[in-house]
Amino acid sequence: MIQVEHLVRRYGERTVVADVSMDMARGSMTAIVGTSGSGKSTLLRMINRLVEPSAGRILIDGRDTAAEPPHLLRRRIGYVIQGHGLFPHRTVAQNIATVPRLLGWAPERIETRVRELLTVFQLDPAQYGAAYPHQLSGGQQQRVGVARALAAEPAVLLMDEPFGALDPIIRAKAQEDLLAIQRRFGTTVVLVTHDIDEAFRLGSRVAVMSEGRLLQYDTPAMLLTHPADPFVARMTGVSDRALKLLSLTRVGELRLFPVEAATAGAAEPRIDASLSLREALAELLWQGTGHGIVCDATGRPLGRISVADIAAHGRGP
């Protein structure tokens, strides 16, 4: 979907992005993580040409992005920034309609799309459509920012620290929403963050950058178990890497020891199949039992899980 080939960006003597090559698959969510000044934002901004590469090229769907005028390219690519950047003089509906209007959609089509997006983002169109951004809470502003970026159904969505300005509770909700939205629309998402936990939660693949170089680009599990570089190991965190590894797998994905409904003791704690292994472990430790019954969303028991089963998944290579 997106192919980044030998991308370089220099500012005078300083090289901010040094020879980065990577591919992002269609419908995937890629997280680019790094410390500030690592070049991650510059890399992202080169994809929609807010920054022009000094060397190298980017292909989207096989087409070189340099081949068309930048403002036309950007209308096909969603873009979300930290602090949302909503237009303060336009209503929520007008904000969301920005790119469709630039593309010359028919008014009825725009209205239908705005309504649909507001509903998807749990904002009542009647209540919020005519509101101005300053009348919304921070979490709502952020959702409108994402809705605006998705308005013209872009195949690619770029996000630069999109949740950086949100408090932890709203951020967790926004991350969940983003995963749901991405599954719903099948958008290819590239997200920049300095928060490794966020990168692991959202990214199907994570790119670690430092000083302009791409150190490793792999699945979260591979980054944890086979860090390519001491910096990657430091970045992903050494002290709690077993727990991080556990948080990558959901209980429902495990092969469970089957259990008869009748034998499932009432005393055993129930574990929701959608929990991560880390959350399930925490729950079992909290309950003080060595094992629990995994249930699906309807409460039907799926099998039994023990602390030892979980622990086996946290073992390093």
The contact set with other proteins (CB under 8 A) reads 48, 50, 71-76, 79, 81-91, 98-99, 102, 132-134, 145, 148-149, 158
- The CB-of-99 to other proteins minimum distance in angstroms stands at 5
Q: Give CA torsion, residues 241, 278, 179, 57, to 10 deg.
A: 10
Q: What is residue 47's DSSP assignment?
A: H
Specify the residue, 146 or 174, whose C-beta has the smaller distance to other proteins.
Answer: 146
Specify the residue, 78 or 227, whose C-beta has the smaller distance to other proteins.
Answer: 78
154 φ/ψ angles, rounded to the nearest 5 degrees: -70, 150
Give the residue among 233, 149, 232 at the shortest CA–CA distance from 191. 149
Contact 59, 2 (CB under 8 A): yes
Burial class of 280 by CB neighbour count within 10 A (0 to 12, 13 to 18, 19+): buried
**Residue type, position 34, single letter:** G
Specify the residue, 11 or 87, whose C-beta has the smaller distance to other proteins.
Answer: 87
**Residue type, position 125, single letter:** P
Specify the residue, 109 or 234, whose C-beta has the smaller distance to other proteins.
Answer: 109
- Can you state the angle between helices 138-150 and 168-185, rounded to 10 degrees? 20
- The CB-of-227 to other proteins minimum distance in angstroms stands at 33
- The CB-of-85 to other proteins minimum distance in angstroms stands at 3
At residue 34, the 3 state secondary structure works out as: strand
Give the residue among 196, 217, 160 at the shortest CA–CA distance from 42. 160
- The CB-of-266 to other proteins minimum distance in angstroms stands at 54
Specify the residue, 46 or 305, whose C-beta has the smaller distance to other proteins.
Answer: 46
- The CB-of-192 to other proteins minimum distance in angstroms stands at 13
- Can you state the angle between helices 138-150 and 107-120, rounded to 10 degrees? 140
At residue 280, the 3 state secondary structure works out as: helix
Specify the residue, 160 or 309, whose C-beta has the smaller distance to other proteins.
Answer: 160
- The CB-of-312 to other proteins minimum distance in angstroms stands at 46
- The CB-of-89 to other proteins minimum distance in angstroms stands at 4
Specify the residue, 93 or 232, whose C-beta has the smaller distance to other proteins.
Answer: 93
